[in-house]
Structure 1
Amino acid sequence: MFHQHFLSATGTDLGPLDSGERVLWRGRCAVAEYGFDKASSLPRWTLPEETDVLVTDRRVRFAHASATTLSNGELFWLWPQHLRVQPGNRETGRNATVTQIQLVCTGPEGSFPALVFAGGDVTKVGDADRLANVIRQAIARFRVDNADEIGVPAVQARMLSRLVIGPEFSNYQGGEGQTVTMLGAVPVPAPEPEYAAQPAYPEPVHTEQPVSSAPVSGTPISGSRAYPERPGLAADAIRAEQAIRAEQDSRYAEPDLASRAASLAARVASLISDASDDVPGRSTNLSAYLDGESGPRR
């Protein structure tokens, strides 16, 4: 799987240039990105020859607006490791090749993404050489001026200062081309991964469980058990179930004895309290009250 490094998302506004940033070249040509770590690879994306290209002292920026979309991107001078001019051949027809300017960078996981310019204002070899010289000087000067910030050693900074002066690109149609290695290159950062949208899970639906209206005594108590058959097993199960049902039904049929005892104790306490207010020596007949509450003894 490959990643595109220099093309921004569709419709992205790159904004204005930085304060103090100088424009060195402006023109139009086709722009594409290749993966030079794979031989004969197809371009990852392409923009037509009507693409606007802007070269500054800090980056190269390109943009193309169609009827429906805006495609743009940029490459900073921190990244290029090699700058090459590849002249087109002298063939015509399907075997013909065009002149290219290639900015090869070091990418993540051993990849070599390259930004390629061709056609348009760099169709001729001489025009491509002149633009390549502008890019070479811009990259070298940027890294020399910012050597401390980007971590360029002093030895490499001295060698880069020579690239500001020369050598000049000088190619011809059908030639082998020229490559210049730009010291102090910083690897291109890996693009941010695109996470797929997580599926939305529906909320769980809670349903009310039906409540049985059957009495407790009508609910079967015993169930089948994996015991070996023995004589009288079925009769024992029936008797046990009848006993449990009888006990459950008695809870609903008989009054609560604890409640009756508490009520009786409260009434006795009330009688004793009333007796303290009566004439001294007079006693209260509690047995008659208790007999009336509890009923005749049997």
Structure 2
Amino acid sequence: MTTAAPLPTPAHQLHGAAPTVASSKSEDVNFQGLPIPRGPVTASLSFYKAPEDGSKPYNYVEKQPEGVPQRNFGESWQEVTIDDLRGQENKFSLDSNAFHTVQNVPSEEYDFTDDAKIRAVYYPEVEKLLLANIPGANRVLLFDYTIRRSNPGADRAPVVRVHIDQTPASAESRVRFHVPDEAEQLLRGRYRIINVWRPLNGPVMAHPLAVADSATVRDEDLIGVEHRYPNRTGETAAVQYNPGQKWYYWSGMKNEDRLLLKCFDSDETVGQWGRVPHTAFVDPRTPEGAIGRESIEVRALVFG
């Protein structure tokens, strides 16, 4: 889990920009009658800037010790063209690009306010979804989830910093931490870490999620960051800007849409395509008055 950075002011509030209306069709407006931004967009994304003193980068997940910065690395904001996945979903897959889209997924969980109910009702739905959509998968272990809301005072807000939730080292540690008695055997087979992301109040109008095609991301673009919990230290990956990276978002994501994000894959034949940088971003076309995005991401170890 990654601690959110402060959310930038939407561009329409800064510059008075008028929203772009793709068409007047009902699927292009939300329940408020506001236009859903569609198509390619150029937006600012926050990439990694190394600590000035050359030290190893770190980030505290919860409250940091007195007098210590929450993180010691900076941000490099870059203007990036982000293409729209809507209408070309079938061109991308987990093995080739490290993300995958699934549409029209029903759910019996609607509130997402009770932890026990989320685990009892939503978790089995996610497990079933993963087993049905990941070739070779024979076992799924859901190890945590995060709900993000844009309203002031929310426990977690959308993260506007390009990152990957896991690295090869932290993925192995996850297996050893969650299934210690079987770890040696499981680590000899294929294992993946996949996040299942969906909105809770779609269609998404503000702070959509951008993903990079993993095939366009170089290993040298990725920087391991110590992810410091109160009782242990994990590792995430920060991402340096590279103009060769290709970025996408899925416009107007609905509550029935699911975006699968692969953070790690032990299969070395698809190693370069085994990790997907992602970030929330401020879409400059977001219409004034649009409701803030709410979402849930469930993180899973997938074996087989």
TM-score range, shorter chain: under 0.3
Higher relative contact order structure (alpha carbons within 8 Å, sequence separation ≥ 6): 2
The structure whose residues are more often helix, as a share, is 1
The structure whose residues are more often strand, as a share, is 2
TM-score by length of 2: 0.25
